[in-house]
């Protein structure tokens, strides 16, 4: 529980990617996804606004769905692997 509160606190300060949060907490990107989703649901229920800047392909500009919080492996449009990760922020 305190772990998820820590995620909410980090995201309240400035936008961060799932990879950045995982590195800061000493975990793998895959290990943080469930806790990140739960923390965002809890923050939303508490009345906070969740802002997600979706992942995007650096090559063709394809924008992934906003619910894709961890970095995708490849772009479905151009098959490129150079991608910007989604950035997540909790406001107010």
Do 89 and 14 meet the contact criterion of CB atoms below 8 Å apart? yes
Residue span of the structural domain in which 9 resides? 2-91
20-77 pLDDT per residue, tens: 999 988 888 778 888 899 999 999 999 999 999 999 999 999 999 998 898 889 999 9
Cβ neighbours for 56, distance < 8 A, ≥ 6 positions apart? 62, 63, 64, 83, 84
CATH number, domain with residue 53: 1.10.10
pTM confidence score = 0.85
Q: Count of domains in the chain?
A: 1
């Amino acid at each position: 529980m305190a772990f998820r509160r820590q995620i909410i606190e980090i995201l309240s300060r400035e936008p961060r990617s799932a990879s950045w949060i995982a590195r800061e907490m000493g975990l793998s990107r895959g290990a943080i996804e469930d806790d990140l989703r739960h923390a965002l649901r809890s923050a939303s229920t508490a009345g906070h606004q969740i802002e997600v800047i979706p992942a995007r392909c650096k090559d063709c500009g394809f924008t992934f769905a906003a619910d894709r919080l961890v970095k995708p492996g490849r772009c479905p449009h151009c098959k490129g692997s150079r991608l910007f990760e989604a950035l997540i922020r909790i406001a107010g």
